Chains A and B, each alone.
Chain A
Amino acid sequence: MSEELISKVKQMIIDSLRIEGMSADEIDTDAPLFGDGLGLDSIDALQLVVAMEKEFGVVVPDAATGTVVFASVRSMAGYIAEHAQ
């Protein structure tokens, strides 16, 4: 997957979750987004689901899929690359 897509995903995370005081460059591509990483939760996950659908036309159908997709920025970008129309 391209670095451009990874950057877009990072910016989408910042914009959709309204993360303040952090730039896209500061998000570690491989760090976990939930728990110890960015500390996201299920409320954030649903916000990301909507943002991914709106921005990339990619659907995350359920939390089980979300657990895999939202493991890191890299996994999100990989899912988008695989499923984008």
Chain B
Amino acid sequence: MRHEYLFPEQHGEQIGTLARSVTGFNPLSCQESDVTLSEHVRLQIYGTAVSLCRARELRAVGQNPDLIIEHSMGIYPALAVCGSISEQDALAMTARVGVVLTEAFSGLRYALGCLVGLAEEPARSAAARHGVYLANYNTSRHFLLAGEHAAVMAALEACSAAGAFSVSLFECDAPLHTPDMAEAAAELRKIFDDYHYAEPAVPLLEHISQKHLAAVDIPVFLLDELLHPVWWQRSYQAARSLGCTVFSEVGAGDALKKFNRWIDSEGAP
């Protein structure tokens, strides 16, 4: 399969060049890619690059955020957008984390299981029975499972049997957002301790306990968030309760916008 990465002119070219200088991979040009990076790592860099481009576009038309909330790997560009680290550091951190995870978990196959339509309790029960975890609590009916490939597949089959509307499986390099990530904690901590974090110029709400991140909290959170699930519904509702009414998804795709739509359709908790 051939992936084409499309960026808007100007911002895309600048971010692409920046990405190549710090990661060896330019999302603008597959021919210039560093082939030593796995496809998953390149996709992660691509994701960060897209978010940085999109944020620049929004700023260019005067759309400046009052609050930033983040989801999973979106924390790296979010840190750059809130002014805590540079765009260059966000791209480098994304690549370094990806490489460490690829190496640390190279012995087994891992997967993410996308689960739509099942409630939390049966989803959690199916995950526990098969030794995998709920890694993302996106809405009351949208979850992501994480763990070993075969176990995630078995858990998804159990979820289908329990009445899930749809399930799908994606390969990944590591058991993201699960306690199993502790295996790579020492190496990851070294990465996060390598950077200087300024106080966020725009308030940044984290996805574990929905607190505002201060500079001193950031390296700790960066490790914690890889070992804990993403609580998107709680984060979105926290932002709502803080008075946010307009949300711009700053990345590839529009999954968060759709999750938010679902959460809104269910009304206040």
Contacts and interface: CB of A to CB of B under 8 A. Distances in A.
Contacts of B142: 43, 46
B258 A47 contact: yes
Interface string A42-58: 11111101100000000
Contacts of A46: 116-117, 141-142, 165-166, 262
B168 A42 contact: yes
Given A46-B117, A47-B265, A63 B258 contact: no
Given A42-B114, A43-B142, A43-B259, A49 B265 contact: no
B219 to A, nearest CB: 33
Interface string A3-25: 00000000000001110000000
A16 B168 CA distance: 23
Contacts, number: 39
B166 A42 contact: yes
Identify whether the interface residues of B are mostly helix, strand, loop, or mixed. mixed
Nearest to B259: A43
Interface size bracket, B side: 10 to 19
A43 B165 contact: no
A10 B262 CA distance: 19
Interface size bracket, A side: 10 to 19
A78 interface: no
B129 interface: no
A49 B165 CA distance: 9
Contacts of A42: 114, 116, 165-166, 168
Interface of B: 114, 116-117, 141-142, 165-166, 168, 255, 258-259, 261-262, 265
Which A-B residue pairs are the 8 nearest by beta carbons?
A63-B166, A43-B258, A42-B166, A42-B116, A46-B117, A46-B165, A46-B116, A63-B165
